[in-house]
Structure 1
Amino acid sequence: MKKLSCAGRIHPFFALFLVLLMALPIGFYGLYLFVAPSLPDIAQLKTASAAIPLQVYSKDNKLVGEFGEKISYPVSYEEIPPLMVNSFLAAEDSSFFTHNGISLKGLGRAVTEALQSGRGQSGGSTITMQVAKNYYLSPERTLKRKLTEIFLARKIEQNLNKKEIFTLYVNKIFLGQHAYGIAAAAKVYYQKPLKDLTIAEMAMIAGLPKAPTKYNPVNDPERAIERRNWIIGRMLQLGFITQAQYHENINAPLNLHFSYNTNRLDVSMPYISEMVRDVMVREFGEDVLNSGYRVYTTIPSDRQQMAVDAVHKGLEAYDLRHGWRGAESTTKPLSTFYVINNLWPAQVTKVSARSFDAVLENGLTVTVPWSEMSWARSYHSTNSVGGAPQKASEIVHEKDIIRLRPDMNEDQVREILSAKAQQASQNTNKIDNQNSPPQLTQNESDAVVTKKPLAIKSKWTDINWALTQIPAAEAQLVSLDPNDGAIQAVVGGYDFARSNFNRSMQGWRQPGSNIKPFIYSLALERGFTPYSIINDAPLQVGKWRPQNSDGKFMGPITLRRALYLSRNLVSIRLLQAVGISKAVDHLSHFGFMENQLPKNLALALGAAQVLPIQLATGYATFANGGYRIQPYFIQRVENYRGDVLFTANPIRVCRECDALANQTDPSATDENGEQPIQVNSNPDGSISSTASTDLSEGKASTLPVDYPKAERILSAKTAFNMANILRDVIQHGTGYAAMKLGRNDIGGKTGTTNDAKDAWFSGFSPSLVAVAWVGFDQPRTLGRKEFGGVAALPIWSEYMGKALADTPENWLKQGDAKQDLATASAAQKSRKSKPKILTETSSKTDATTEDSIEAIIPKSSVSPTPSTALESPF
């Protein structure tokens, strides 16, 4: 035996070895004592929440919006398919369920690199160590951080079981494309829940933690499949899958269905989603975007889509009326353009006499026939277009970037595209070594590689295509329930990606004649009736000589007819009669802002500044019998656990409340001393009445007390009369085009500002209000004859026709019929004799005299100058 000492001494090298052997654990323990106080409390891991995005839902529980840089959907261990667990074990840590949290082999490699270079270049981390890093540590690779990771991993193993650790890992790990956790990755890459993933798809996801960018199937499909197939081979080698499963999945196509935000949503509602985001951030701060809140809105997804379709259809129809503006570009590459509202960018490749060919970005060539382009008269100006084209070369040229509309919706088109691409991929891509597993090594260079799909260059005849263009103007539609203010639809513009400016909620514009009903309602409140006679005659106020839109005068006219024919001069005379200050105060009760209402007679013609949502709120009062409601769009807020944090309790109309209260006093009558009367307006204009029985057949007489009641701001009589006059706007007046809906329970008002810079239609049924607007963001004329009834009414009609399709006709049933019958009789008598002409109204704009109540017919065409000179806003 070889001696270890000389003359009884220990060999110096052996002594050094013993010292190092004893010092290593002591030093390691010393490091632990140094680091231990700073290690976090592991108990927090059990309650740790992942960064879950803020989610917005429709009334019918469809996901319509999502916010947050990190996409995450935490799952429990029981929700993870066993094969998904095995795919991660094969890829990351095959001994996870047996080790104590540390891989000595991997650790040795990482420590060596750190000692040599100061920064480790490789991992060596177990799943437990990755949990420690992902939840507590920075991503830097230093010796200190690696030692902290080791100590923390041991602490995690001592406090949590393996299933808990694995669940924390797969819910937190970054998997590329903003996806954190396996459930998020399944949605982002495959649009699937975990349970529906194939083995190949599970392996693809399991391959991402090592290098989420390098092995990302979106960034590099070849390398992603290489990594995926190596993992599938490892699963076979470890006995996780059978030989048959191996062969089935090793040759599987990429089958990627990658998409961000809107394509991952059930329905896209960008404007309402942004409204929710704004409110939540203001209330809770930026952290709310990653805290897993779920916000349920008041908006039914079907009505929202109806509104979107109506805006698109109406605005595109307006745009095409004004001619073809030509190609979007002749120099930019096609790849820089994107689909907007199903208008597909394409580049013209061939122009024939009566058709042209164009290629889409994906390589598909389509042909546009003459019938789908002959509309394209050249645009000269807003009021002028060229002659009808005779051949295709007058419209398009080779290399033009133009827009095409398919005769299918965008989802259907994309489905066809995907199917064709997948078919081409299956036909042209063959996997090497199909019948045997690859030779697996630590180096993945031996893995199976799939070739990239070939470009598709075939004729596409499944879909018909038409030449179109992106509208230059803008439009909006907002809709709400007049009985509680619940918003039913918000379309803030033609395309959110093009402009996220929400015109429904932020777009201050002049309302034009849309303001008139509010002034008329004040006149009715102050003693006028629908049959009061007002003179539609010339009027001059200072230097201002306002005109009717047709430049004509109709002479003495009833208030009712003046409104449904939108006579400007009658509106001005009514405003003179009721007083400007009183009118401003009256309008503020409907929700209009006083500081946006001019304190002069121009108010009668819509010179104010209003928001579409304010108009919708105001018109709701005419629809609901005279009550002021408050719009709202958030119905409920939940946290990520499903706990309800907020439920809306809106102000609601309670028509029965007053009547029920009066039932406690048998002698009680309405405001005119009569029992409530049901009023019916007959087609011939006559009025009939029947006693109301709404509250007399065994219904409970107790007042509802579980919700706040809407304030009455118009008498029932005025509200009823206004609703009927506004119904006449559609049946006999400027909104007659809406008669195509075939309904007898809708009313509204057109509005057009000076030089047709804004076109409006605001209207309602007893259960739904909608306001449509068309105009340019930088105000300029929409063109001659583009009145509210031409440009905006089609949008309103398209929406209301569909939104009310399943709603039975139901007009307002309560009102003061006695007064209406009396005024109708008086009107009949007035037609038999010349109406009394009263003296001219006072020059004071706030004057209201008994003389001005019955009729306002000045003796001359010129009224005295008001105390404040007015400049024409028109």
Structure 2
Amino acid sequence: MKVLKWILYSVLAVFALGSLSVGGMYLYYKDELPSVAELRDVRLQTPMQVYSSDGEMFAQFGEVRRIPVKLEDVPQPLIDAFLATEDQRFYSHVGIDPIGVARAFFQILVTGEIQGGGSTITQQLARNFYLTFEQTWTRKIKEAFISLHIESQLEKNEILELYLNKITFGHRAHGIGAAAQVYYGKDLQDLTLAEMAMIAGLPKAPSTMNPISNPTRARERRAVVLGRMLAEDKITEQQYQSALATPIRTRLHGAEVTMSAPYLAEMVRAEMVARYGEETAYSSGLKVYTTASAKQQRAAQRAVQHNLHSYDERHGYRGVEAQLWDAGESTAPAREVLLEQLQEFQTIGLTRPAVVLEVADAQQEAVILLADGAQQKLSWANVAWARPYINRERQGQAPEKISEVLRAGSVIRVRAVDSGWRLAQIPEPSAAIVALRPNDGGIAAAVGGYSFAVSQYNRAIQAERQVGSNIKPFIYSAALENGFTLATLVNDAPINQWNPGTGVAWRPRNSPDVYEGPIRVRQALAKSKNVVSVRLLRAMGVNTVVDYLTKFGFDYDELPRNESLSLGSASMTPLEVARGYAVFANGGYLVEPYFIERIEASDAEVIYQARPKVACVECEPAQRDVVAAPQVITEQNAFLVTQAMNSAVWGGGSWAHKTGWNGTAWRIQRSEAISDHAGRNIAGKTGTTNDVKDTWFSGFVTGLVTTGWVGFDNLENALGRTTMNSNLSSNEQPISGTEAGAKTALPMWIDFMETAVEDVASDPFDVPPGLVSARIDLATGKLSRANDYTTRFEYFIPGSAPTEYVDTKSSPTVFGDDESIF
């Protein structure tokens, strides 16, 4: 009895001492326990996602990749896999599993060390949220108290949901939603049993047991999970055997990105970091919806890349990138060796590296091996363009057979086209395109270069380049505001101005170097007459024009204070130019470009909604909170300039009577896709600098303004000239001669707008109130009583229309007629 009493007292003493110890430790760590509010409002670290205006995700930023899911959306077999593997008594314990604790204690007695494993799901959750992974008594004690505390405050399903969304699965995937995407590119509901078992096995050692880093260990771990599911009667023997035999098929998948818009994505990333800081921007699950249309963004990307390839092909082939073996000296390396060597060459833009295996002149084709292991044929039709590149001004003779271009062992680049694979090279020049909604400034598409992987420099918003003749609509707008009309005759003749200070004569020239004498203002802008632009600026004065140009948002300090301004010596970004053209498209209002429409928090609450300045407040939906954009020029002035730019597209005169003429943008007439949607309701202007270092085209329909630029990043490089390639038909290579805005930038604009016009307004350019029309004589600009091809109706601001008829004996008034003509 004494022994029993002693044992009983000892047990009670140990129990009391243990209770006191536990109570003491609880008091000691109590302040470190999470609050109830903190537990119920856990913020899962979730990346920022960026979407198009129509809901396509095109970027994800943040180290942690997570797709939060609700427990009710998780397939039951996946839940069973986790519970069977990690915590089979999850729904019966209070946060700490006595059996697991006993097992861990036994391991300590055997090894003398604290071992990992044995933790409940609640303990793992506590460790993931609040603790480190160090194997110490202090951490274990804290973990136990936090686990008990969590169990006392949250329902079991809440705990399990948090756990499934929090745990790490390797390759920056956190939570089961992200794991399914990273390893299989699937939603949870689409996973197979084998895939679920693979994911459920990852928390034990996500970096070393995942199927990408270590397929062998991943297979072994998957077998363990399936075995436990079978032991728990969660799957049948047949399901077990079938899943066990399933091959490991997985690869690293990206985020659910469905379109490519890296330049726009970087614009959003920089703006979000500036607004919220990196931590909030990258990890709080913000969803950013942009103003860009997925369809138009894709079209812009395609237009930039295809146009640059067209430029590069007409200037000649610069040769292969490497020679892996010479057919006359050695045999081809093994296929595995070739594939390994091809990994050294990066896929860039549309181009993919390949090695030539065989060249057959008899069949005029080559056999190539792509880096992904696919073997393809390269036909003569897709190589014939490759005459030698000499320099940007000269090309060599067109090849007659494929062996003149390619030989076995050559590393080349190819790109996919409708007819198969086409010989390619990384384009030398750069390009940018930006499209705006003229009514509110929303950016519908923005592409800043050929490949973001090669250059992150966003030329659409950062490249300040001389605008050339793209400046002329603004000069002409100022002229219309200062007494000129579309019917005013200006002398289109060479200018020879002596500068006594430098001892040099300034001789601005037309391009091409053709002069027509007296020409109407409408026709002069449509044909881009340089000397007319100079004479208009002279009439108004440089300071007057500089002040006027600031109405379009151009920086006063960046505008040259000399007559070269009339020819586009000012440097601007494509976005700045597009914003200026939007003033003409929207009836005279200066809008502010923006690209973020709204921002949603992780719980879908809208925390930011754009409030743009709009050109037409009454046109906006009543529920949209907008402010009016300032009107900077009159609606009448905007319409008159638009009319002249419309003539740049459609020309004038009568071809039947041999008086017809084309404006510089006449190539738009060839596009049936644009004409089918927009009819004749298109306006635009080409732009080329004197040395052809920069080429532009800016144009619009009523619902969209688009500016395109093509040039070299190196300001010293001109775009050059080409001759026709005798191997190609005129349809295959319709452009030759000196590069220019009409040849180099306009085709890109057309390619983009053929898609873009399908979804935007292209209404007629309605005549605003306050204008009058009168029939004028095309040769003199005077009133005419005739009703034939020698006349047309022209629009005038009241009081500015001509008063004399062409049949009077007086000579027409020609502005600049007193200047020297050579």
**TM-score bracket, shorter-length normalisation:** 0.7 to 0.9
Residues 243 and 600 from structure 1, CA distance in 2 versus in 1: closer, same or farther, beyond 3 angstroms? same
Which range moves more in the overlay, 757-766 or 35-44? Answer: 35-44
Q: Which residue of 613, 616, 619 maps to 1:654?
A: 616
Q: Which amino acid aligns with 1:795?
A: M
Under a length normalisation based on structure 2, what TM-score does the superposition of the two structures give?
0.84
Partner of 2:331: none
591-600 vs 188-197, which deviates more?
Answer: 188-197
Larger CA deviation: 589-598 vs 33-42: 33-42
Q: Is the 8 A contact 2:693 2:718 kept in 1?
A: yes
CA distance in 2, matches of 1:23, 1:817: 98
Matches within 5 A, 1:89-238: 89-104=83-98, 106-107=100-101, 120=114, 122-238=116-232
Shift of 1:217: 1.6
More displaced stretch, 113-122 vs 628-637: 113-122
Aligned residue identity for 2:344: T
Alpha-carbon deviations, 1:276-322, whole Å to 9, x = none? Answer: 22111111111221111111111121111111111121111111111
Q: What is the CA-CA distance between 1:806 and the residue it aligns to?
A: 5.9
What are the within-5 Å matches in structure 2 for residues 76-87 of structure 1?
76-87=70-81
Shift of 1:173: 0.5
The correspondence of residues 625-664 of structure 1 with structure 2, limited to 5 A, is: 625-654=587-616
Contact 1:351-1:357 within 8 A present in 2 as well: yes
Q: Which of the numbers 470, 475, 482 marks the counterpart of 1:526?
A: 482
Aligned to 2:434: 478
Structure 1 portions without partners, runs of 5+: 409-462, 658-699, 839-853, 863-874
Question: In the TM superposition, what are the counterparts of 1:396-795 in structure 2 within 5 Å?
Answer: 396-407=406-417, 464-539=420-495, 540-542=497-499, 543=504, 544-654=506-616, 707-731=626-650, 732-741=662-671, 742=675, 743-779=679-715, 780-784=717-721, 785-795=738-748
**Using a 3 Å threshold, how does the CA distance of structure 1 residues 167 and 562 change in structure 2: closer, same or farther?**
same
The AA in structure 2 aligned to 1:601 is: E
Partners of 1:541 and 1:17 lie apart in 2 by: 114
Shift of 1:130: 0.7
**2:319 matched residue in structure 1:** 326
Equivalent residues of 2:701, 2:761 under 8 A apart: no
Distance 1:835 1:503 in 2: 53
AA partner of residue 740 (structure 1): R
Please show how residues 325-364 of structure 1 align to structure 2 within 5 Å.
325-330=318-323, 333-353=341-361, 354-364=364-374
Q: Tell me how far apart the structure 1 counterparts of residues 634 and 617 of structure 2 sit (CA, whole Å).
A: 12
Residue 772 of structure 1: how far off its partner (Å): 0.9
Q: CA, structure 1 residues 835+115, in 2 after alignment: closer, same or farther (shift >3 Å)?
A: farther
Flag the 1:831–1:506 CA change in 2: closer, same or farther, 3 A. Answer: farther
Superposed CA offset, 1:673-701 (max 9, x none): xxxxxxxxxxxxxxxxxxxxxxxxxxx9x
State how far apart, in whole Å, the 2-side matches of 1:835 and 1:474 are.
53
Matched, 1:316 2:253: no
Match of 1:857? 817
CA distance in 2, matches of 1:272, 1:716: 32
1:52 aligned residue? 46
Q: Return the letter of the residue paired with 1:345.
A: P
% same residue: 42
Distance 1:567 1:10, change over 3 A: closer
Paired residues, number: 742
**Equivalent pair of 1:324/1:378 in contact (CA under 8 Å):** yes
TM superposition shift of 1:569: 1.3
Separation in structure 1 between the aligned mates of residue 149 and residue 372 of structure 2, nearest angstrom? 53
- CA 229–831 in structure 1, closer or farther in 2 if over 3 Å, else same: farther
The 2-side partners of 1:481 and 1:377 are apart by 42
1:493 alignment partner, SS class: coil
Matched, 1:799 2:752: yes
Q: Give the secondary-structure state (helix, strand or coil) at the position aligned to 1:505.
A: coil
Q: 1:833 to 1:244 in 2, by over 3 A?
A: farther
* Contact 1:534-1:856 at 8 Å conserved across structures: yes
The 3-state SS of whatever aligns with 1:232 is helix
Q: Residue in 2 aligned with 1:870?
A: none
* Partner residue, 2:792: none
User: Among residues 262, 276, 288, which one is paired with 2:268 in the alignment?
Assistant: 276
Question: For 1:31 and 1:703, how far apart are their aligned partners in 2?
Answer: 62
Partner of 1:285: 277
Letter in 2 for 1:213: S
Contact 1:837–1:857 (Cα < 8 Å) also in 2 = no
Distance 1:816 1:29, change over 3 A: closer
What corresponds to 2:233 in structure 1? Answer: 239
> Which secondary structure state, in structure 1, belongs to the residue aligned with residue 445 of structure 2?
strand
Q: Which moved more, 1:300-309 or 1:539-548?
A: 539-548
Whole-Å Cα distance in 2 between the matches of residues 855 and 832 of structure 1?
20
Q: Tell me how far apart the structure 2 counterparts of residues 617 and 513 of structure 1 sit (CA, whole Å).
A: 16
TM-score normalised per structure 1 = 0.80
- Partner amino acid, structure 2, of 1:730: V
Letter matched to residue 736 of structure 1: W
Q: Any conservation in 2 of the 1:111–1:143 contact (CA below 8 Å)?
A: no
**Partner Cα separation in structure 2 for residue 195 and residue 138 of structure 1:** 32
What is the alpha-carbon distance in structure 2 between the residues aligned to residue 307 and residue 833 of structure 1? 53
Cα displacement (A) at 1:255? 3.9
Q: Is the partner of 1:627 in helix, strand or coil? A: coil
Taking the aligned partners of 2:107 and 2:391, their CA distance within structure 1 comes to: 71
Indicate how the Cα distance of structure 1 residues 74 and 626 shifts in structure 2: closer, same or farther if over 3 A, else same.
same
Aligned to 2:767: 814
Backbone CA RMSD of aligned residues: 3.0
The answer to whether the aligner puts 1:373 opposite 2:383 as a matched pair is: yes
Give how far 1:101 is off: 1.7
Aligned to 1:420: none
Q: Secondary structure at the match of 2:372?
A: coil
3-state DSSP of counterpart to 1:629: coil
* CA distance in 2: counterparts of 1:861 and 1:114, whole angstroms: 104
Contact 2:356 2:406 in 1 (8 A): yes
Aligned equivalent of 2:790: none
What is the CA-CA distance between 1:399 and the residue it aligns to? 3.3
After TM superposition, give the deviation of residue 823 of structure 1 in Å: 5.8
Distance 1:106 1:393, change over 3 A: farther
Secondary structure of 1:466's match? Answer: strand
Matched-pair contact (CA < 8 Å) for 1:118–1:143: no
Task: Quote the Cα distance in structure 2 between the aligned partners of 1:233 and 1:112.
Answer: 24
In structure 2, C-alpha distance between the alignment counterparts of 1:581 and 1:20, rounded to whole Å:
96
Say if 1:528 and 1:834 are closer, same or farther in 2 by CA, change over 3 A. farther
Q: Deviations over 1:776-831 (max 9, x none)?
A: 11121111211000010001011112221366752211236864416666265787
Q: Aligned partners of 2:73 and 2:812: how far apart in 1? A: 83
- Letter in structure 2 aligned against 1:308: Q
How much has 1:134 moved relative to structure 2? 0.8
**Structure 1 pair 859–280 and aligned structure 2 pair: CA distance change class (3 A):** closer
Shift, 1:648, TM fit: 2.1
CA distance in 2, matches of 1:18, 1:613: 81
**Aligned-partner SS, 2:597:** strand
The code of the aligned residue for 2:610 comes to A
Letter in 1 for 2:720: G
* 1:241–1:764 CA distance, 2 compared to 1 (3 A): same
Aligned mates of 1:212, 1:195 — CA distance in 2: 22
Q: Which amino acid is 1:283 matched to? A: R
Aligned to 1:391: 401
Q: State the distance in 1 between where 2:454 and 2:109 align.
A: 53
The secondary structure found in structure 1 opposite 2:27 is: helix
